[in-house]
Structure 1
Amino acid sequence: MKKKLLVILLSLCVAITSAFTLSACRGKNNNNGGNVDNGGGSSTTTTDDGKTDNKDNSATDGGKTDDGKTDDGKTDDENAERKATKGLEFGFIDNETTQVTGYRGTDAEVYIPSMEGSKRVTRIKADAFAGNRVITSVEMGDNVAEIGDRAFNDCPNLTGVKIGTGVKSIGNRAFYGSKSLTEAAIPNGVATVGNEAFYGCSGLTTAAIPDSVTKMGYKAFRNCTGLTSATIGSGLTKIDDETFRDCTGLTSATIGSGVTVIGQDAFSTCTKLANVTISGNVAQIEMGAFVDCPNLTSIEIPNSIRAVGVTAFNGTGLTFTEDNGARYLGNSGNRYLVLIEAKDKEAITSYDINANAKVIADMAFYRCENLTTVSMPESVTDIGALAFSGCGELSNPTMSNGLLTIGQEAFASCIGLTGLTIPDSVTDIGQYAFQYCQCLAKVTGCGGVMTIGEHAFHGCNELTDIMLPGTLTKIPAYMFYGCKKLSNITLPSSLTRIEDNAFNGCTNLSGVTIPGGVTYIGNWAFNGCANLSNVTIPGGVTTIGAQAFAYCTSFTEITIPLSVRRMDNEVFIGCTKLTKINCEAESWNAVSGGWYINWTGLAENAVKVNWNYKVN
């Protein structure tokens, strides 16, 4: 009996032990890729290299098709996120994103993943790969949105870069000097390409700028000597300065419909450039844009053109159309669209501009010292910078009634100019436009002018009469600086600002009414206006700049309205007759600045300040 009981107990132990062993084996198979169904239709299998492959044995959504692919048409390997190349270093951005900060690996081919752990890889930090001599190719995951400044600067063995479709910004000098780079297509989606981004990448052969790019910095592809073609998408509005300068292998360039400005030296010294297609929206071709492109023998200047810079086409193979001693460029429909320059600047004494001309290019008649008269047809809309500057004998230019802009320094130092009628069609007068026209006494017209540049009439010593348009919102800095004979001027009610030095040195100015809309009177605005005896500062002015009324030696009394919250240093210094300042504010503390500092030069240093002054 005892023996039988012992046998039973031993059998029971064996059974229990077997059960536990079987359970453990099943658990192990389920965790390491066994084929036992766990009830969810999926399992994992250990590969020979110790990696795990996720599999789905169910026939429901997400299952494999007969050819071994999942429902999205890809194999498991294609669906799996590739691992980051060993040696990549990552840095914190925030709890959800990270960035590549460097690379210390030995692999020449580098993959930057979309994810690092649970975080999205969104940036390649500035200088992350700069100077690296190991890498030959780089591929980026699609979460990468930014390639930082100098990220791949001077990587001499880098030949190919696959820029991720998520990239929006390529930083300054991102690939600068990576001479072996032959492939770096910019995907549609990139919005900005930084300054000098591909400078000196002499292995590149094509530059295709997608429509998504809206800003491309200066010198972006300069000295890419292997570049043969460039295509600019419709999103870019300006080809910045020196973008393709010294691309000596470039033979063709297509400029997209969004471009309105071709910048300074944009294609300078592209010695093989023969084909350029310019869109119909380009309005400005800046100085030296195509200088020293000897193989450029034809070009169609669009009718949209508004300005052409000096030397824009110097050193090209273009044939200019000549008429009456001047050179013109245009298109097949109008060969006289742009007057480029007078052919013999010393010999020319008078000139009638061709009836089909639209633009007078920068410096077209610069220092034609014997030019006395010029007649512009109604077709002319724009006079370029320095167009007639230094024409000392020019006395009475006839401007077209279709004229829109008078460029910077257009008539500067035309000392023979005595009177001027500016058509009402003109909307913009550039900086220094009539500076040092020392005999200019009267200016009429200007009825449609919206903006006038700084120094526009600076040094016009004889100017006594000018009518300012009712559309003007500010008197720019130095506009009438040194106009010693200007005695009276009516400021339009549209004004809101009188800028620095606007009337500085107008020693004969005796009366001026500042409109009620003015809020700002700039530094030295009326400095040295010795005859100015009475100025009413309106109730909207909040700021009066340093020495704004300094050396106004005819001042005896002035009222500062309650609206003024700041007056800078020495506003009234040198006002030797000023004895009374009426301030509507309650005390010194109500007006900031140092206007009460240094009273030297005021009448016996005994200026009386009436606080809380009430205007009758």
Structure 2
Amino acid sequence: MAITASALLLPQQGWSRIINFEQDDIGYGLNTDTKEATVTNLRNISSTANIPDSLVYKNAVYKVTAIGPDANYRNDRIKKVVLGKYVQVIDSCAFQGNKQLFSINIPKGMKVIGGKSFQDCYALESIELPEGLEAIRTFAFYSSGLKSFHIPASVNYLGVNPVRDTQDLDTITISAANPYFKVVNGVVFSKDGQTLLFSGAGIAADSYTIPDGVIRVAPFAMRNTYKVKGLVLPASVRTLGDEAFCRMGLKTLHIGAGLKNIGECCFGYCPDLATITLDAANPILKLVDNNILSKDGKTLLIVVAQNAEYTVPAGVETIAPYVFYGMTKMTGINLNDVITIGECAFYHTDNLATVNWVTKLQEIGRMAFQYSGLTSIILPPSVRAIKYQAFTSCSKNTKIVLPEGVKEIATSAFYGNKLVKEVRVPASATNLGESIFYYCDSLQKVILPDNLTYIPKQTFNHCRALKEINYPASLREIGRSALTDCPITNFNLPETVEVIGGMAFENTKIGPEITLPPLVSVIDEFTFVDCKNLKSVTTSPNLKEIKEAGIQYNTILEEIHLNEGLLTIGRIGLAGNYKMKSLTIPSTVVSVGSLFVRSNIAQKDLIMLPATPPAPNGDVTDDARYDIITLHVQKGSLEAYKQHPIWGKFTKILGDAGVKPEFMDEPTVVEIYDITGRRLPEMTPGTVNILRMSDGSVRKVMVPANCR
């Protein structure tokens, strides 16, 4: 028997002392105040999980009262669970994804079955819920293998469709003594009959008429009841919840006079819906050519399945969310007078190849065309906003034309458009989200507007064909991973750039020589990693910090010229640059991270100009390289370095730093700056010129005003 324990305080337990405890490969949380135990981990169990009634810890008995959240999340090995008699709660997702679980006993004291607790338990065909159970929460048995389902009289709470998408569930029963719920012909209602709550996906009725008196249909109520071909909504029905009839096998639909509110995706993915009728007395809806519109004709709400091209009725200004969701046979659409396209309106229209983009269109909603079959996206000048993931994963699309006038291009708008080769971002687009062109694998050329100040995070990440990009003259910031994995060679950044985010140029082909803009003060984490063409890096005169792995694993990098004024170098900050033979650390550096020059396999010399040994956070290189690299320090600092517990590990330490050997050439001027850090094309008379020299040093020179 294996037993381990540790302690912590959990605020959700009212700051009770919770002991993490393991016994017989089962993890528990022990509440020392209530003397109750919660099962927290069953992932080490195979085949059968036996949950004890109680256990003993330090002579105290703890009753096992709960199976905690995610306790056995997606553990396929357990086939049977035997619960102890004191278990009262099975918490959310406790057995989610346990695909082989076929048997579990529910003890008489059980009070709560948590949300998604048995989701995707495909082998679980039956379960006996005891009297005394009070709550079955949302999606508790979602997509399980249940064939029958009985709700005890004691249950007073049912979450959103607890048996959602249970394809084989054809029998639902409720104890006649239950005061809150009833079942009629396999469909569960509130006791007063005013709310239709849910049915099993396996309901076999060819046509279903909702009973008169029902006022509302709950979300997901009859989702995936694919055997139902006809549906009639009586005059009493006023409200339909989200996805109430999504993914049904409907062919006909009748809407009564009372319907006022239609939830999102209510009739989404009903690919066989051919006929819609509407009670003429309905005060807020109207029927036009088999389409349900708002009474004023401005909003398109429900359409029949489309098998070819479709024209939006004249006068419609808004396509409601999810209207065409899953219409996989639709090939084209004429938007007519549409101004706004709602969220997911054309989601998964796999064969929608063409859109007649009208000049009134202003907003394209979230995920509106995600996973559609569009072959080109040429947006009209009227468009002002392209929302989150509007065109994500349009894998057949070959062209993107963004109009001058568009202001917002939201996060991941064109993510995964893998066939697009060129993009021009208009000057009007001032509100750009992250990852807009992420994974556009064929993108070769990008034209950015001159007024752009920020390239957001991951904008061109994984654009593995991108070789040509311009950097706008006003650019100030390049976001994290903005150009990761792009084969770009251009690093001609404007002097306006102040911030380069972490990983921004990781795995690119910039080089062979780069110089950071003068206003850059930090090299962020992993900024210049695996730059395959990079041979030389010169930092900016205002650089203060190189963070972890800032310039790392550049296999042909030979030179790094660091500026005076640099203060800190992070962990592995300059490591793995295989061809670099020598490195000079400026006199201003006060701290270096561990292994900051690790794996520089060609390095023979490390020249440390700081008079006081910088504080290292652990070893500065590999153990073997202390015998290979010669440490050069200033003569007056020789003893301080030798006596230091880390720097003193170098076998050879010389006090010759700053001494120019006779054979060395006089360093040449590499760059010229004024005292504000602005780069100059040449020496400027009458002022102080700051010179960056080829040996990494910096000199200040006053040029006389009469010097030409």
Q: TM-score, normalised by structure 2?
A: 0.51
Paired with 1:201 and 1:115, the residues of 2 have a C-alpha distance of 35
Q: State the match for 2:281 in structure 1.
A: none
What does 1:42-81 align with in structure 2 at a 5 Å threshold?
none
| CA distance 1:290–1:473, shift in 2 (3 Å) | closer
Partner of 2:65: 122
The equivalent residue for 2:432 is: 472
**CA deviation digits over 1:466-508, x for unaligned, max 9?**
2464333424352766444533335755765234527654444
Work out whether residues 568 and 595 of structure 1, in 8 Å CA contact, stay in contact via their aligned partners in 2. Answer: yes
What is the deviation of 1:608?
4.5
Q: 1:397 aligns with which of 324, 349, 358?
A: 358
Indicate the residue corresponding to 2:338 in structure 1: 377
How many residues were matched structurally? 482
SS across alignment from 1:337: strand
In 2, Cα distance between equivalents of 1:257 and 1:538: 57
Q: How far does residue 93 in structure 1 lie from its aligned partner after superposition?
A: 5.3
Mean Cα deviation higher: 463-472 or 147-156:
147-156
Assess if the C-alpha contact under 8 Å between 2:541 and 2:563 holds in 1. Answer: yes
On the 8 A contact 1:266/1:290 being kept in 2, the answer is yes
1:277-330 C-alpha deviation (Å, 9 max, x unpaired): 987474567xx93332568765898645455786x2234685368x99975346
Aligned twin of 1:573: 532
Match of 2:89 in 1: 145
Partner SS, residue 539 of structure 2: strand
Q: Matched residues in 2 for 1:207 and 1:297: separation?
A: 34
Q: Tell me the residue number matched to 2:7.
A: none
Structure 2: gaps of 5 or more residues = 1-25, 43-51, 73-77, 173-185, 192-196, 279-285, 567-676, 679-708
Whichever residue aligns with residue 247 of structure 2, its letter is F
SS in 2 for 1:498: coil
Match of residue 355, structure 1, among 288, 293, 316: 316
* CA RMSD of superposed structures (Å): 5.9
> In the alignment, which residue of structure 1 is the partner of 2:300?
337
Distance 1:539 1:612, change over 3 A: farther
Paired position in structure 1 for 2:223: 266
One-letter code of the match for 1:581? Answer: T
More strand by share: 2
Residue 521 of structure 1 is matched in structure 2 by 481
Instruction: Tell me the residue number matched to 1:368.
Output: 331
C-alpha distance in 2 between matches for 1:473 and 1:434: 18
Match of 2:270 among 313, 320, 332: 313
Does the residue aligned with 2:446 lie in a helix, a strand or coil? Answer: coil
**1:501 and 2:440 are equivalent in the alignment:** no
The answer to whether the 8 A contact 2:393-2:416 is kept is yes
Q: 1:610 to 1:437 in 2, by over 3 A?
A: same
Instruction: Indicate whether 1:430 and 2:390 are aligned.
Output: yes
Bigger drift between 565-574 and 146-155 goes to 146-155
Residues of 1 paired with 2:144 and 2:355: CA distance?
Answer: 48
Change (3 A) 1:223 1:457: closer
Structure 1 position 430, deviation (Å): 1.8
- Residues 314-371 of structure 1: per-residue CA shift (max 9 Å, x gap): 34685368x999753468997973353675526x7x76556376334136596636x7
Match of 1:199 in 2: 145
Match in the other structure for 1:289: 246
- For 2:66, give the aligned amino acid: R
Deviation at 1:226, TM superposition (A): 0.7
C-alpha displacement of 1:164: 3.8
Q: Which of residues 562, 568, 584 in structure 2 aligns to 1:610?
A: 562
Q: Which of 164, 171, 174 is the equivalent residue of 1:226?
A: 171
Conservation of the 8 A alpha-carbon contact between 1:139 and 1:163: no
Q: Which residue of 2 aligns with 1:97?
A: 36
Are the equivalent residues in 1 in contact too, given 2:119–2:139 (CA < 8 A)? no
Equivalent in the alignment of 2:375: 414
What is the CA distance between 1:543 and its match in structure 2?
Answer: 1.1
Tell me, yes or no, if the aligned pair for 1:226 and 1:249 is still in contact at 8 Å. Answer: no
**CA distance in 2: counterparts of 1:406 and 1:216, whole angstroms:** 27
CA distance in 1, matches of 2:89, 2:527: 47
Task: Give the Cα separation in 1 of the matches to 2:315 and 2:138.
Answer: 42
- CA distance 1:291–1:284, change in 2 (3 Å): closer
Structure whose alpha-carbon radius of gyration is higher: 1
Bigger RCO of structures 1 and 2 (CA < 8 A, at least 6 apart): 1
Residues 131, 154 of structure 2: 8 Å contact kept = yes
Who is 2:522 aligned against?
Answer: 563
Which letter does structure 2 place at the counterpart of 1:338?
Answer: L
Aligned residue identity for 1:424 = R
Distance 1:448 1:123, change over 3 A: same
Partner of 1:544: 503
Seen in structure 2, the aligned counterparts of structure 1 residues 179 and 365 have a Cα distance that, compared at 3 Å, is: closer
Kept in 2: contact 1:456–1:480 (CA 8 A) = yes
CA deviations 1:529-549 (Å, max 9, x no partner) are 35563356844445125635x
* 8 Å contact from structure 2 (residues 217, 240) kept in 1: yes
Distance 1:325 1:584, change over 3 A: farther
Change in CA separation of 1:378 and 1:467 when aligned onto 2, cut-off 3 Å: same
Residue 437 to residue 305, structure 1, CA distance change in 2 (3 Å): same
Unpaired runs of 5+ residues, structure 1, are: 1-89, 103-111, 234-238
CA distance in 1, matches of 2:217, 2:551: 51
Cα 1:201–1:297 change in 2 (3 A) is same
Indicate if the aligned counterparts of 1:167 and 1:190 stay in contact, CA closer than 8 A: yes
Match of 2:117 among 166, 171, 175: 171
In structure 2, C-alpha distance between the alignment counterparts of 1:140 and 1:296, rounded to whole Å: 49
Amino acid at match of 2:415: H
Question: Are the equivalent residues in 1 in contact too, given 2:341–2:364 (CA < 8 A)?
Answer: yes
C-alpha distance in 1, partners of 2:296/2:84? 49
Q: 2:548 aligns with which of 569, 589, 592?
A: 592
TM-score norm. by structure 1 comes to 0.57
CA contact (8 A) 1:474 1:496 kept: yes
Shift of 1:161: 7.2
In 2, Cα distance between equivalents of 1:181 and 1:457: 46
CA distance in 1, matches of 2:542, 2:161: 49
The one-letter amino acid paired with 1:122 is: T
Measure how far apart 1:520 and its partner are: 1.5
- Identical-residue share of aligned pairs (%): 6
CA distance in 2 between counterparts of 1:351 and 1:258 reads: 28
Q: 1:466 to 1:279 in 2, by over 3 A?
A: farther
Counterpart CA distance in 2 for 1:480 and 1:198 is 37
Question: Counterpart of 1:328?
Answer: 291
**Per-residue displacement from partner, 1:251-296 (whole Å, max 9, x unpaired)?**
6889998966x49x932334488567987474567xx933325687
